[in-house]
Structure 1
């Protein structure tokens, strides 16, 4: 039988992601680097299938959505904190208390990702701990140097002068661009200012906000290990 339009093209199957049971490896690679997560890169037919994929979730460290969640919750804690009674309950949960929700504030914590039900009882999430840390941390402006950018992963490595200038940390590239208004190609080796909790014990606890272009640095100024300057 003749085939006037040629043989039907069938797209080769893509390998499954080894870390989840819902996506292909290619989709999860894209989702980890995207604020849209995996669900934002499929059609309506498959969105429910990949919804909540752990490979791109904000509860999974070092995904784009996780990095943005740290920034979002830190800014919430500093600029628009939850009600005092809600924060009191969050602190009680952080201390391991199973106190009853007499004020009816737990739904607020759950809505903001700060609380969750564990075996039917109110509990605190990692983001809840991030929120409390942001309420207590000393945050201050610091000089930040952009070491390099990864356009594909949408991240940048930066050195934080008042933290550990010899230990680059990864931040969202789009956060820097949105905050500073600078062009991506102008960022490598550029000095900026940002607000940071410079007493953070490790990079996963360091949260940078409010990136802005820096003025000219004094001649001979350079950061040294330990957070000082020379």
Structure 2
């Protein structure tokens, strides 16, 4: 049978991403909101090409991978901290001290993403600073209200009563659901509790963990001018 449109069909080329040069715009849009990053959304043939795409990297602020890495480092610091000798090494790197490492402890930091080699010299990573902050910060239980969720980006906007009432913070929707055991559909408008470093200077430094159902709120709690106020 003769094919009226020619022997083969070619999929129209997709626009390149204007930020990275290794992916299409559609791939980066998907990858930045996915724990799989761009790497996890291509076939084996193209993985080497997009493996280090900055648009979805955990070192790029506000990607899903970045948000997950912040929580991972915070939980590591609070729940399974490094042994004392390794943490001392990390603190020395944070101060810019040129270290000697006769016991070869530094690989324990690189394995966890807390350290890296820069021009052949050991150095702390941004995630390493997150770990140390989580070790040193005062964390407390606070009431949190979920304002809304975005199914496309898999994020939720929440208000943290003990931090800055009225200022919304973006967190991973699936983190809230997994921690609390609640369905995503039930999250908007719900009051929860979470652990937070309420002395954080900005939303990027605010690390929320351990979401759970809130105890009944005290009588008189209302929202005033967009904020949760007793």
Q: Same fold (TM over 0.5)?
A: yes
* Deviations 1:114-152 (CA, angstroms, capped at 9, x unpaired): 000011000000000000000000001100000110000
Instruction: Give the TM-score, by structure 2 length.
Output: 0.95
**Conserved in 2, the CA contact under 8 Å of 1:161 and 1:223?**
no
* Deviations 1:72-131 (CA, angstroms, capped at 9, x unpaired): 000000000111111001000000101111231100001100000011000000000000
Q: Does 1:3 align with 2:2?
A: yes
Moved over 6 A (4+): none
For 1:95-106, what aligned pairs fall within 5 Å after superposition?
A: 95-106=95-106
For 1:57-76, what aligned pairs fall within 5 Å after superposition?
A: 57-76=57-76
Q: Unaligned regions of 5+ residues in structure 2, if any?
A: none
**Conserved in 2, the CA contact under 8 Å of 1:165 and 1:224?**
no
Q: Does 1:209 align with 2:174?
A: no
Which residue of 2 is the match for residue 188 of structure 1?
188
For 1:30-49, what aligned pairs fall within 5 Å after superposition?
A: 30-49=30-49
Which residue of 1 is the match for residue 91 of structure 2?
91
**Conserved in 2, the CA contact under 8 Å of 1:70 and 1:207?**
yes
Give 1:6 deviation, angstroms: 4.4
Give 1:15 deviation, angstroms: 0.5
* Alignment partners' CA distance in 1, 2:18 and 2:190: 38
Q: Unaligned regions of 5+ residues in structure 1, if any?
A: none
Give 1:4 deviation, angstroms: 3.6
Partner of 2:204: helix, strand, or coil? helix
Partner of 2:91: helix, strand, or coil? helix
Which residue of 2 is the match for residue 126 of structure 1?
126
From the superposition, tell whether residues 186 and 82 of structure 1 become closer, same or farther in structure 2 (CA, over 3 Å).
same
Partner of 2:170: helix, strand, or coil? strand
Instruction: Give the TM-score, by structure 1 length.
Output: 0.95
* Alignment partners' CA distance in 1, 2:178 and 2:143: 18
